[in-house]
Amino acid sequence: MKKDQLLTRRRLLAAGAAAVGGAGAAAAFGLGAEDEAVRSAAPAAGPPARHPLKPSAYRLQPLTGYGPPRTAPRLPPVRRAPLLKVSGLGRTMVLTFDDGPDPRYTPAILDTLAEYDVRAMFFVCGEMVARSPDLLARMADEGHVVGNHTWSHPLLTRLRRSAIRAEMERTCDIVEKRWGERPEWFRAPYGAWNRAAFQLGSELGMEPLAWTVDTLDWTSPGARTIASRVEDGAAPGVVVLSHDAGGDRSQSVRALRDYLPDLLDDGYRITVPRRARL
């Protein structure tokens, strides 16, 4: 092959390679036939004509989740004793129910509260929530407050710190899963508090709440006696302790039907506490 023929062949091969390379680049960046036509129509001298890129799966998207750093939630103080009353304007009281939820009694209590448009607090045990998660969902839907009453209702003063934490944290987790939020309140079973319970409760973001009036409904004294104890102990800021599980709570159910309308008729406002108000 002569020298001038060899040069011509090399020029043709180079031109073909450039054409293939241009098509490959166009495909990689989402350029179609119209874009190629625009690029081909650009004058030979100077920069190529500018044109918008077509949408492509390979286009970079804006970064999300990189806003200002979140501040850690403020933990409640480590208390030396549980809270016994709540603050509030006027004749305000809080009704609390421990040990549930129990499908035999909790629904009837919720029905009575709904009838009078009243909110209450339910200190639940995690193992009971695991058996009746739908009741916890109902509590959330109807505006009640759910507190932590440990997983299996043990006597905390006989447990090691790690075991206390497991009881409390496991219940926090299932409440968050079934109720939608982590509990902000904690009550020790049997009212048996110790330093570890206060410290761990604070670490888990919970305030310790005890009670002012104990109905002693777990002793089955009769519905009328339970109602009388609530009405006799009624006063601004009072926290009433009752139970919706842990045994036969039919008397507690009947007593609520008696004393709740009486409290409302006497001008008491039955509400749930806010941590900021304590």
List, by residue number, the catalytic residues: 98, 243
Is the CB of residue 16 less than 8 Å from the CB of residue 41? no
User: CA 101 to CA 58: how far, in whole Å?
Assistant: 52
Give helix 133-141 / helix 161-179 axis angle, nearest 10°: 60
Residue among 196, 75, 186 at smallest CA distance from 126: 186
Burial of 45 (0-12, 13-18, 19+ CB in 10 A): exposed
Residue among 214, 217, 218 at smallest CA distance from 238: 214
